[in-house]
């Protein structure tokens, strides 16, 4: 019986030291501010130009808004946008969702200095594309 107690104690300590998926990922980049946002939608082809504004950051969790103008191949444009929420993964990646009535768009990007570049996908409607955001240029 004495052998079990040290094992249980070690197991409890090991579990307590494990980081849960919802825990902060440690030292994270500060991504608050206004970012000039550009992107493309693959099919149908649409160009996106707007502003990503990250107003809140609590550790690795971020909130804000993304607004843009989209322009199709015929030059027809319309405004769109919505709130975002997501997380910064250490100092090199950003993962956030844009919440819209027509479906949620998942954005995943590599962060390098004041630039994030990545891809987005919206399962509802089968939309996808790429984007780039540069901080402080708008």
pTM of the predicted structure, to 2 decimals = 0.79
Tens digits of per-residue pLDDT, 11-58? 443 444 444 444 555 689 999 999 999 999 999 999 999 999 999 999
Domain assignment present for residue 61? The answer is: yes
Q: Looking at the domain assignment, is residue 26 inside a domain?
A: yes
In a domain, 13, yes or no: no
3 part of a folded domain: no
CA distances, 52 to each of 23, 110, 115, 128 (Å): 25, 15, 12, 18
Closest CA to 59 of 99, 109, 23, 84: 23
Q: Measured between alpha carbons, how far is 17 from 134 in angstroms, rounded to an integer?
A: 37
Our count of domains for the chain comes to 1
Supply the range of the domain harboring residue 113. 22-135
67 within 8 A of 80, measured Cβ to Cβ: yes
> Both tokens of residue 137?
């240029």
Is residue 17 in some structural domain? no
Is residue 4 included in any domain, yes or no? no
From 81, 83, 36, 34, select the one nearest 63 (Cα to Cα).
Answer: 83
Q: List helix spans (H) across the chain.
A: 4-17
pLDDT tens digit string along 66-122? 999 999 999 999 999 999 999 999 999 999 999 999 899 999 999 998 999 999 999
- Tell me if 62 is assigned to some domain: yes
DSSP state of 44: T
Average pLDDT, the chain: 86
Evaluate whether residue 11 is within a structural domain.
Answer: no
* CATH of residue 65: 2.40.128.120
């Amino acid at each position: 019986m004495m052998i079990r107690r040290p094992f249980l104690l070690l197991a409890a300590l090991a579990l307590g030291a494990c980081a849960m998926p919802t825990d902060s990922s440690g030292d994270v980049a500060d991504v608050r501010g206004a970012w000039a946002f550009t992107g493309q939608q693959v099919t149908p082809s649409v160009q996106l130009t707007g502003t990503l504004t990250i107003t809140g950051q609590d550790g690795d969790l971020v909130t804000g808004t993304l607004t843009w103008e989209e322009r199709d191949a015929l030059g027809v444009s319309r405004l769109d946008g919505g709130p975002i929420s997501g997380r910064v993964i250490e100092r090199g990646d950003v993962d956030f969702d844009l919440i819209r009535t027509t479906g949620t768009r998942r954005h995943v990007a590599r962060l390098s200095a004041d630039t994030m570049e990545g891809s987005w996908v919206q399962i509802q409607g089968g939309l996808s594309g790429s984007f780039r955001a540069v901080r402080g240029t708008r």
